[in-house]
Amino acid sequence: MLVRLIYASRVQPDVGPGDIDQILQVSQANNARDGITGALCYTGSVFLQCLEGGRDQVNAAYHRIVADARHSDPLLLGLREIAQRDFTEWGMGYVGYTAENRALFLKYCPRPEFDPYTMSGASVEALFQALIGVARWKSAR
Ligand SMILES: Cc1cc2nc3c(=O)[nH]c(=O)nc-3n(C[C@H](O)[C@H](O)[C@H](O)COP(=O)(O)O)c2cc1C
């Protein structure tokens, strides 16, 4: 059975671009092994991540991820069964919060700044739908 899980978390203050590269490299490797796909959004202060895959695999990954000291305050925004994946091309795609895509992020937010903690499950799902064509692999520097 396939599920999609979406959560938000707060980035620890000492986390920088090198950490993001490391997280994405480990995620690509582990998620390919576990049949998980998805995308990670990083704004500098919050993460928003979508994980798709088998229920047991997504559950195990989520438990591993929320125990990671590089972020805190995980908020589960959505967990549901799905008929098919959205992020078929990405073991873990990356979407930065840039001047170019700011309007896209804000389209689904109730406030003038992007804050996933204020968003409904339906809105975060709609945001990830819109980000399917935007996700990229962030290469290690
Ligand atoms: C915001 C964030 C997202 C992460 N996403 C994933 C992920 O999708 N898959 C994964 O295996 N690890 C992810 N991690 C890393 C895990 O917390 C953990 O470090 C890693 O799974 C351990 O893998 P290892 O046992 O192979 O070293 C993420 C960490 C953070 C902080």
Instruction: Choose which residue among 7, 20, 30 to substitute to test ligand 1 binding: the one with the highest number of ligand atoms within 8 A of its C-beta.
Output: 30
Q: Over the range 15-48, which residues count as b (16 or more CB within 10 Å of their CB) and which as e?
A: beeeebeebbeebbebbeebebbbbbbbbeebbb
Rg from Cα positions in the chain: 14
Provide the 10 A C-beta neighbour count for residue 123.
17
Q: Show the ligand 1 pocket: residues with CB < 6 angstroms.
A: 23, 26-27, 30-31, 40, 47, 49, 51, 61, 64-65, 68, 70-71, 92
- Give the model's confidence band at 139: pLDDT under 50 very low, under 70 low, under 90 confident, else very high: low
CATH code for the structural domain at 2-131: 3.30.70.100
In angstroms, the CA 40 to CA 71 distance is 13
Q: Which tops the pLDDT comparison, 137 or 50?
A: 50
Nearest CA to ligand 1 atom 27: 26
pLDDT of residue 136: 81
In angstroms, the CA 133 to CA 68 distance is 28
Nearest CA to ligand 1 atom 13: 27
For residue range 58-71, what is the model confidence (pLDDT) as tens digits? 999 999 999 999 99
Domain ranges of the chain: 2-131
